[in-house]
Amino acid sequence: MDVTIRGRHALVTGGGRGIGRAIAARLTAAGAHVSIIGRDAATLAEALAAGDVWATARADVTDEAATHDAIAELAAKAPFDIVIANAGWAETALFERSDNALFRRMLDVNFMGVVTSFQAALPGMRDRGFGRLIAIASTAGLRGYPAVSAYSAAKHAVVGLVRSLALEYATSGITANAICPGYTDTDLIRNGAEAIARKRGISLEDAKSLFAQDNPMKRLIAPEEVAESVLWLCSPAAASISGQAIAMNGGEF
């Protein structure tokens, strides 16, 4: 399989840690020039020092103007061929306790952050006749879960977006896809597991296993697995793959 992306310029939002960092490192190892955007200056600096990325810019994807400015700054080095919209987070609350502000927060970071990142890079991709738009969504974009209605709605919107973009740009050389992982072994899950372990008086590993219960394989997804799927979608071998929401969940439906 041809996975050559050498010399391509890739943007990863939320690229300083977790899934984003794994994606940045994998694309760098494959020969791409990888730029990342994130909110925390220290994690951006650490990724740069480690050699996992080519360039960094600080921005919160919920700030449209700042995100456009950051992308423009990074694109001045080279236009973007690949955009991985990875930044996001989840807040939990039962629907009756989820006010409009919660829904707006979830939409701003998980959906509008994707919209802003894609829109900023698309004109250059269209002009050059090549582009890969990849959103890191969630299994919550494919099915419902209790107590995360706002997050799930936002991730469903992401899936709808890439399906529409796939049709709009079908003859342009640009593809648009979403990857939908289940619970993934990141610091966010570790933090949640630590809180559960303290509350219930159980081990960290037992607490982490609670997050894997819905996965038929009974394990968390590794960030590196998501990164490998991103690499494939960026490659010439996946040129006809567009408008897809690729589930990484061990067979959960």
* Residues designated catalytic: 151
* Contacting residues for 20 by C-beta, under 8 A, at least 6 apart: 12, 13, 14, 36, 38, 84, 86, 87, 136
Interatomic CA distance for residues 51 and 141, integer angstroms: 33
Structure tokens at 203: 């081990």
Residue 133 CA to its chain's centroid (Å)? 11
DSSP 110: I
Query: Residue 26's closest CA among 57, 49, 47, 1?
Result: 47
Yes or no: say if 20 and 14 are a contact pair by the CB < 8 Å rule.
yes
> What is the SS3 assignment for 82?
strand
Residue 215 CA to its chain's centroid (Å)? 20
